[in-house]
Amino acid sequence: MGEEGKAGASLSDRAVDWLVALDCGTADRAAFEAWRTADQRHAAAFAQAAATWRRTADPRLSVLLDQPAEAQPPATEPTPPPPAMLSRRAVAGGALAALVATAGAGAFLAWPRRAYAATAVGERRTLILPDGSHALLNTDTRVGWRFDDERDFWIERGEATLLVREAAKPFRLNSDPIDARLGAGKFNLRLEQESAQLLVLAGRAAAVYRGTLARTLAAGNALVVGGAGAQVSHFSPAAIAAATAWERGEIVFNGMRLDRALAEFNRYLPEKIVLQDADLAPTRLGGSFRIADPDGFLQALQQGFDIGHRQQGNQIRLFRRRAA
């Protein structure tokens, strides 16, 4: 490790050298122990390095690292090709491959086959993709990707936020029912049983609904697919904050009906909350709650709306509390 040759380096730097060498299994253990016991300042410097090192493994970091404010802003916002190029047939036929500039390629790691990742109910996870783009997966989500001549990313179920890095190779997001070609920026795709929505948080996307409706979306716009077909909606800052609250481990209700709010919360809960008294459903809720703290949510219901709860089997049932 050559620590003797680093006489000029600070004590803290030397402690870091030792720690990483130990972590990577390249340190001479006896030499390390000799260094550490030679001086209490060495021991203290090492313990501080180790304490900082431990902080880097905090599981909460994986969520924070994708915060929009901290995300690397795309250097430029390349305009995606006109939507006309993005017919489903063209995507399926690989015709887009012909459009890919090969110059400057080769910086990508080879991913010969599609790779997959998934989260369980209640889990969140950040993936670093081979090009340095990030994918943050929400609860109960399955995704796949293949990065070779192009950057292909599939969302099979659930919800993910993509932080797409600028690159010569196009980034394609594939799902049923929305496909999109993404520029550098930040995008959120959420799939549900009967609906889907692609929200552009930064950058631009050319989005296609079932190969028919093609739209270019700018930041703040979403392609929303529901029972009534597909349409482009503009999201207010409050709506964007609510749609991305999960990235911070939060869930935000802006005057949402209780039945819808429960559906939101239940996405994260192995044990679902259900309404025992159906007439509670129209109750409007506001406020933000920790996803990891359903008890806090239940307590707020009790205190704010006099809605009680009890465990029954693997369900939590809500009922209207009667005045005694």
Partner 1 sequence: MAWLRDIDIWFADRIFVFSDQHRRYAIKLARQPEEAEELVQEAYARLFALDDWSSIANPHAFTMRIIRNLAIERFRRADIVRLDQSALLRAVDIADDDPTPDVVAMDRAELRQVATVMQDMPPRMREALYLRRIEGLPPAQVAERMNISVSTVETHLVKALRLLVKRLDRRETGAKAEHATSWEKKERQGQV
Which residues make up the interface to partner 1 (CB under 8 A)? 12-13, 16-17, 19-27, 29, 32, 39-41, 43-62, 64-65, 67, 70-72, 109, 126, 128, 132
Q: Which of 198, 176, 191, 200 is nearest to 139 (CA)?
A: 191
Strand, helix or coil at 235? coil
> Which residues are paired to 214 by β-bridges?
208
Cα 252 from Cα 232, distance rounded (Å): 23
DSSP state of 209: E
Nearest distance, CB of residue 166 and partner 1, angstroms: 12
Compute the least distance from the CB of residue 161 to partner 1, in Å: 15
Nearer to partner 1, 2 or 255 (CB): 2
3-state secondary structure 154-176: EEEECEEEEEECCCCCCEEEECC
Query: How far from each other are the two terminal CA atoms of the chain, in whole angstroms?
Result: 74
Beta carbon nearer to partner 1, 59 or 282: 59
Helix axis angle for 40-55 and 11-23, nearest 10°, is 60
| Shortest CB 139 distance to partner 1, Å | 18
Would you say 65 or 218 has its CB closer to partner 1? 65
**Least distance to partner 1, CB of residue 217, Å:** 26
- Whichever of 211 and 249 has its CB closer to partner 1, that residue is 249
List all residues 6 or more positions away from 17 whose beta carbon is below 8 Å from its beta carbon. 1, 3, 6, 9
Largest interatomic CA distance in the chain? 79
DSSP 53: H
Least Å from the CB of residue 65 to partner 1 = 6
Nearest to residue 161, comparing CAs of 79, 236, 246? 246
Smallest gap from Cβ 58 to partner 1, in A, equals: 6
> Which is nearer to partner 1, 8 or 282 (by Cβ)?
8
Kindly tell me which of 22 and 118 has the beta carbon lying closer to partner 1.
Answer: 22
Identify which of residues 41 and 310 has a Cβ nearer to partner 1 in the complex: 41
Q: Least distance to partner 1 from the beta carbon of 127, Å?
A: 9
Structural contact between residues 184 and 74, judged by C-beta atoms closer than 8 angstroms = yes
**SS3 call for 296:** helix
